[in-house]
Each structure stands twice: as C-alpha cells, then as structure tokens.
Chain A
Amino acid sequence: MKSATPKPDRSLVASTHDIVKLERRLFLRQGLSLGALTMLTGCDVTDADAVQKVLWSMSRWNDRVQAAIFDQNKLAPVYPESAITKPFPFNAFYSEAEAPRVEAATYKLELGGLIRDKMPWTLDKLYSLPQSSQITRHICVEGWSAIGKWSGATFRTFLERIGADLGAKYVGFKCADDYYSSIDMATALHPQTLLAFKFADQILPAAYGFPMKLRIPTKLGFKNPKHIAAIFVTNDYPGGYWEDQGYNWFSGS
C-alpha cells in the first residue's frame, strides 16, 4: 500500500519513485515484459503505447463501474481488539525514517476549493470534533492486509462543519510528505470514512501519519493519505501520486 507514510531521507524518496518510473518506461519500451508471450510479438513502441491507451481507458471504465457498485450504506467488516495486527506494517513511497515531522503547535489544516468557510483549522480545533473509533482491515494494493484501530472525527461531520459543497465530485488531499490523492464524494461521505488522529488509542506517530490520516476502510491503503496538510473540494479530477502512474483511481474495496 503506499498509504502515505513518514519520511526520512529525501534521496531515498527520490530513488524509490524513480525506480517505479523507470519500470514504467521499460514497460513501454520493451512492451509488456513477458518475453515468452507470443500474443503481441513484434510489438514496437507504438504498439505498446496503443496498448497502454486501451489499458488506461479500461481503468477509467473500472472507475465508473466501481462508483456504481459502491453502496454508501454497506459497512466494511469490523473486528475485535484481539484481531489487531501487531506490529502494524509501515508503508509509503519512502522509508519509515523519512516520515515527515509535522510541528503540532504551528500546524494548520488548509482548506480550499468549493468550501464555504476556508479558515485553516488548528489541531486543538480538530480534536474538539466528536470522536469515534473503528477496528478495520487495511488492504494494500500489493495484496497484503493488516487490521488496525483508528480514532477520529467522521469525515462527513467535518465536511458539513466547513460548509463543503457535498454535491461536488471530488475531495482532494495534499500531504506534508508531498504525497497527494483524491477520492469521490460518495466515499468521503461514507459513515466509516474517518479523519483519524489516533492509531491504537495513541496520537498518530509520525510513521502512521501525524497529525492526521484519512482512514477509508472502503478503499485500498494508498487511497488513505497521511500527514494531510490541505483538503480541497473540486469538480476537476485531481488525480494522485500513484494514480497518475497507473494505479486505478477509484480503488474501492
């Protein structure tokens, strides 16, 4: 999952990222990387680009299918405390030591886009929202999963409080680790979508996304941004860090 994370050395960040990009470039050039497959023999760069276009449009089609399948009243399964995975894995596009250190005292959550009251929020104000907890399964795009406990404010409550346009299409996130992502409004309003300030009953450590992570048990891990610095509401597709490289945008569970 690449659900956002902490950050130590920028150099490492860059290298992991570059490797992924390089993989994609190689993919384009060598076509498919299935040496033995005769399906598309002799394909040159042009053919590979055409294949890429088809795959990307299928991914956009799958976004629409998933939006149609998504049921706002269907809750993700919840688990007992005994089911919690320990230790809970760290995951990001950089190493755990690189997780950003956000200063609590000076932190302010920036708001933008189709929001009535764009006043930045301090941590104290965020902590004063009604809080709840959930123990749910985090599923990584890589396939592994882990169960954790998150506590915070229902995202819907927050969106209503700031006067967000709940009829808009997207909610976007910019994070302190330069990660960015976006989700559909239907998922933003799902009752289990949580603006989480705590993990395992403790204030989120840097590794798990201090000062806050958007916990979405109905989406894959990389759609759960950490270290959120700004939230905006928009009708223009905002994309995302991994989404722009090829991960499916909706990535619902």
Chain B
Amino acid sequence: MADQAGAAAAANGRISVHPLMVRITHWTNVIAMSAMIFSGWRIYNASPLFDFKFPRDLTLGGWLGGALQWHFAAMWLLAFNGLAYLLYGFFAGHFKSSFLPLAPTAVWNEFKNALRGRISHQIGVYNAVQRAAYVGVICVVIALILSGLAIWKPVQFQEIAALLGGYEGARLVHFAAMTLVALFILVHVMMVALVPRTFLPMLTGRAKQSSRGQGG
C-alpha cells in the first residue's frame, strides 16, 4: 500500500486527489439528494407502500403539497448535476482513470480483506470495493431517476413504466432504489467518520502525501 507512484505529487508535498468538477458535483448532489430523499419520505407517508411511515421530523415539506413542491424542484438540480457529473466522468477520463479496471475477483478479495480489517489505502486511488460501490451507486441513481420519471408521467413515459412493471411496479423500484442509495450514504458517511482525514480533501481537493486512506 505504499506505492504512491500513480498519484500526482505537488511541489508542497500535497497531491491532488479530487478534481474540482468532482467536488462541485459531489456537494451539489449532497444538497439535491437530501432534498429528494427527505421530501420523498413525506410523499411516501401520504400513502405508504409498506407497514411503516417515516418519522415526521425526518421529512421535508411540512405536508404532502409542500413535499411534492420540494421533490419536483430538487429533481432538476439532481438531474442536471448528475448529467454534468456523467459527462465529465466519461469525457474527461475521470471514470476511466478512477473506476477502471473493475475486476470482480479483485472486488471480492478486497471485500474479504476489508471484513478482516485490512483495507487497502492508496492515496488518490480507489480500491476495488470502492470502485464497485461508486459505479454501483451511479447505476442505482439512474434507476431511481428512471422510476421517478415513470411515476411522474406514467402516461407520457409509459414505455419506461412498462419496463418497470407499470405504475405500481415503478413505485416499488423507486422505493428500492432509494433504500439502496440511503444505505450507500450511510456506509459512505461511516467510512469518513472512521477515517476523518479523508473529509477535508473532498473540500480542498488536496491531501498530504503522508496521509493515506480514501475513507468512504
């Protein structure tokens, strides 16, 4: 884990770990996703799919109409920010350099190591489990948005709804995708809490060469 040859060394002993575009879209996404999830919970409470409701204090909007206003306003921020991130990821080479290669065996080995408390840290480089998690959550968010479109416009976008099992099927997919994103966020934040020195670089983009670890 001492191999830091891949990371760009800066003159003052700090290296660049998170490009500006990634930091901007990350924090914008924090705002948009929070608004979507907390208002979505209030919308869910109006007609619960399952035998539980979200605690009222954890919801956004005050009442169904307010929550819908938040949801349908924040969705634009979420969508355009996500689009900017994807375009950057594909065309600026960010995905290729950060997420590839992504070999299933490497992910599995890394995962087993992590369970035994041996997490590989290499500053500026994501380990295999991280790569899988980030690529996975990107796919889940895409499913979240598509199912959301199917619920929002089950007639105009009925082709998408049909793929997801119709309007009611799309509601279930939307809920399942939200749950996965919420779990991702939980683990992601826990990892940062365990390795706090990963937090500041997400703001400044830079990390001390001596510090190691990618956290969540």
Complex CA–CA separation, A170 to B72 (angstroms): 23
Complex CA–CA separation, A170 to B153 (angstroms): 21
Contact partners of A76 in chain B: CB under 8 A: 155, 158
Interface residues of A in 20-65 (CB under 8 A from B): 20, 23-24, 26-27, 30, 32-37, 39, 54-56, 58-59, 62
Query: Which one of B66, B76, B158 lies within 8 Å of A24 (CB-CB)?
Result: B66
User: SS class of chain A's interface: helix, strand, loop or mixed?
Assistant: loop
Residue of B at shortest CB range from A19? B63
Q: Are B62 and A23 in contact (CB under 8 A)?
A: yes
Q: Are A32 and B61 in contact (CB under 8 A)?
A: yes
Interface residues on chain A, number (Cβ under 8 Å):
44
Q: Are B156 and A27 in contact (CB under 8 A)?
A: no
Q: Are A218 and B155 in contact (CB under 8 A)?
A: yes
Q: Looking at the assembled complex, report how far the CB atom of A203 sits from the nearest CB atom of chain B, in whole angstroms.
A: 28
Q: Are A59 and B62 in contact (CB under 8 A)?
A: no
Contact partners of A70 in chain B: CB under 8 A: 156
Complex CA–CA separation, A217 to B72 (angstroms): 21
Q: Are A27 and B62 in contact (CB under 8 A)?
A: yes
With A248-B72, A252-B153, A253-B156: A33-B167 Cβ-Cβ less than 8 Å: no
Complex CA–CA separation, A33 to B56 (angstroms): 8
Complex CA–CA separation, A34 to B59 (angstroms): 5
Q: Looking at the assembled complex, report how far the CB atom of A50 sits from the nearest CB atom of chain B, in whole angstroms.
A: 13
Contact partners of B166 in chain A: CB under 8 A: 77
Q: Are B64 and A33 in contact (CB under 8 A)?
A: no
Interface residues of B in 120-167 (CB under 8 A from A): 153-156, 158, 166-167
Asked if B95 lies at the interface with its beta carbon under 8 angstroms from chain A, I say: no
Q: Are B63 and A55 in contact (CB under 8 A)?
A: no
Complex CA–CA separation, A34 to B70 (angstroms): 12
Asked if A140 lies at the interface with its beta carbon under 8 angstroms from chain B, I say: yes
Q: Are B156 and A37 in contact (CB under 8 A)?
A: no
Q: Are B68 and A36 in contact (CB under 8 A)?
A: no
Contact partners of A245 in chain B: CB under 8 A: 65
With A58-B76, A217-B155, A252-B156: A141-B64 Cβ-Cβ less than 8 Å: yes
User: SS class of chain B's interface: helix, strand, loop or mixed?
Assistant: helix
With A74-B156, A143-B47: A59-B69 Cβ-Cβ less than 8 Å: yes
Query: Which one of A34, A39, A62 lies within 8 Å of B31 (CB-CB)?
Result: A39
Residue of B at shortest CB range from A253? B155
Q: Which of B34, B44, B62, B66 has the most CB of A within 10 A?
A: B62
Q: Which of B34, B63, B168 has the most CB of A within 10 A?
A: B63
Q: Are A71 and B63 in contact (CB under 8 A)?
A: no
Q: Looking at the assembled complex, report how far the CB atom of A122 sits from the nearest CB atom of chain B, in whole angstroms.
A: 33
Contact partners of B34 in chain A: CB under 8 A: 37, 39
Residue of B at shortest CB range from A55? B69
Complex CA–CA separation, A245 to B62 (angstroms): 13
- B 66-100 to A, binary, CB cutoff 8 A, 1 in contact else 0: 10111011001000000000000000000000000
Q: Looking at the assembled complex, report how far the CB atom of B107 sits from the nearest CB atom of chain A, in whole angstroms.
A: 34
Asked if A237 lies at the interface with its beta carbon under 8 angstroms from chain B, I say: no
Complex CA–CA separation, A226 to B69 (angstroms): 25
Q: Are A142 and B64 in contact (CB under 8 A)?
A: yes
- 10 A-B pairs in the complex with CB atoms less than 8 angstroms apart: A23-B62, A27-B63, A27-B66, A32-B61, A33-B60, A54-B73, A59-B72, A62-B72, A77-B158, A144-B47
Q: A39-B35, A246-B65, A253-B154 are in contact. List 18 more A-B contacts (CB 8 A).
A: A33-B62, A37-B38, A39-B34, A55-B70, A59-B73, A74-B155, A76-B158, A77-B155, A137-B154, A141-B46, A141-B64, A142-B46, A144-B47, A145-B168, A246-B66, A248-B69, A252-B153, A253-B153
